[in-house]
């Protein structure tokens, strides 16, 4: 199974995952290797490999991903203190799974985002 197929299989409930939200456009599930008390991945149901391959017609999917993130953050009780959304795009960003996904991280102070240049 290639890496990008893993998320498609989760979306279609062919392999187990802790799915916390699903609608016609996106699915959200807990990251298997969490890096914060709340670490959820928000994924388009349609396979888009990277952010770089998003098309004009995918605008509604991107909007839904953001909106769903805010809803889940409230439900997880992390909205008040704050949270971080991350989209890694390709190698230099450390993207491992080539099925577009947004990380929702929160539940503790997350520190600064970037190191030095």
Residue 101 annotated as catalytic = yes
Task: Tell whether residue 97 is a contact of ligand AMP (CB under 6 A).
Answer: yes
Considering only the stretches 44-52, 65-73, 74-82, 87-95, report the one whose residues sit in contact with ligand AMP under the rule CB under 6 A: 87-95
b (16+ CB within 10 A) / e for 77-103: ebeeeebeeeebeeeeeebebbbbbbb
Helix (H, G, I), strand (E, B) or coil at 89: coil
Task: Fill in the per-residue mask, 10 to 39: x = in contact with ligand AMP (CB under 6 A), - = not in contact.
Answer: -------x-----------x-xxx------
CB of 87 to ligand AMP, least distance (A): 8
With contacts defined by CB under 6 A, how many residues of the chain interact with ligand AMP? 12
């Amino acid at each position: 199974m290639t890496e990008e197929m893993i998320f498609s299989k989760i979306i279609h409930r062919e392999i187990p995952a802790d799915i916390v939200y699903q609608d016609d456009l996106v699915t959200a599930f807990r990251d298997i290797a969490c890096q914060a008390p709340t670490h959820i991945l928000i994924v388009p149901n349609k396979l888009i490999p990277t952010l770089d391959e998003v098309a004009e017609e995918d605008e509604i999917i991107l909007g839904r991903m953001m909106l769903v993130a805010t809803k889940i953050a409230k439900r997880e009780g992390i909205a008040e203190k704050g949270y971080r959304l991350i989209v890694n795009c390709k190698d230099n960003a450390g993207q491992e799974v080539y099925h577009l996904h947004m990380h929702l991280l929160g539940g503790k102070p997350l520190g600064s985002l970037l190191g030095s240049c």
